[in-house]
Copies of this chain bind each other. A is one copy, B any other.
Amino acid sequence: MVERIARLAGADPRVEVGIGDDAAVLSGGLVLSTDMHVEGVHFRRDRLGPAEIGARAAAANLSDLAAMGAEPLCLLLSLGVPPGFDDLDALVEGVAVHEVALAGGDLSRAESLVLSITAVGTAVRPVLRSGGRPGDRLIVTGPLGAQAASGYTAPIVPRLAEGAELVGLATAMIDLSDGIATDLRRLAAASGCGARVELSDLPVAGGATQEQAACGGEDHELLAAVPAGPALPEWAIVVGTLTEGDAVSFLDASGRPRDLHGYDHFA
């Protein structure tokens, strides 16, 4: 489907970036991201309250805008609600906690709870996944593995300010939704580079293991490539470098590559 959508998007010159990045970019700098959040796949109602479900879903969408260096304009929310679910207000309050306007929505019956959110933003100079070059430093915006360690219940903070700060500095950027083990491969492949990360350089969130930091999903920290030279923001944590070639290596303390794989919602 991805290839099919990519071809269909390519048919309209007003779509400057279609599928394959964190968000679509239209001519004029409009940035659009859509995500579906499904009960039993992305969240469980016995672990999260409705406000937390709404807040997490919106955060994941806003994180896609952050990864483009975009400023949010509004959210659209479509809800499928199962029989007996009566916490719509709390769910909507959760979505609204990020203080981005909810411009519209739709409500339907469904078998299980489904939230589909579209985040709309603007970016004068959107940062794509594809601009990285060998030698660029790889940085992240915060500790990794907090979601896996918490059983995917810790609050998610979309890194909008950090994403905006990286505009003009980062050559490539992605949001860590499936773990750096997976998402670094995406950034490197889009940039036509390889990458090298020493696992001991990964910032491990409190309570998480190094494996969770590398492979856990939904952290929604940003991973960016920044050329050597310019000073980095003080919050930036350097985790590795982009390299020539196409090999993406995660090296353990003995310098041996580890075969790591991130989180897969389809697994």
Contact = CB atoms under 8 A, between A and B. Distances in A.
Copies of this chain, complex-wide, total 2
A19 B118 CA distance: 15
A5 interface: yes
B12 A105 contact: no
Interface in A94-108: 96, 100-108
B4 A89 contact: yes
Contacts of A19: 102-105
A4 B76 contact: no
Contact of A9 (B9, B18, B104, B116): B104
Given A4-B89, A8-B92, A74-B26, A32 B104 contact: yes
Contacts of A92: 1, 4-5, 8
Interface in A101-142: 101-112, 114, 116, 118, 120
Contacts of A74: 9, 12, 14-15, 24, 26, 32
A265 interface: yes
Given A18-B103, A101-B9, A103-B24, A78 B110 contact: no
A12 B102 CA distance: 9
A1 B120 contact: no
Contact of A114 (B73, B80, B120): B80
Contact of A76 (B32, B89, B101): B32
A153 to B, nearest CB: 19
Interface of A: 1-2, 4-5, 8-9, 11-12, 14-15, 18-19, 23-24, 26, 30, 32-38, 40-42, 73-74, 76-80, 88-89, 92-93, 96, 100-112, 114, 116, 118, 120, 265-266
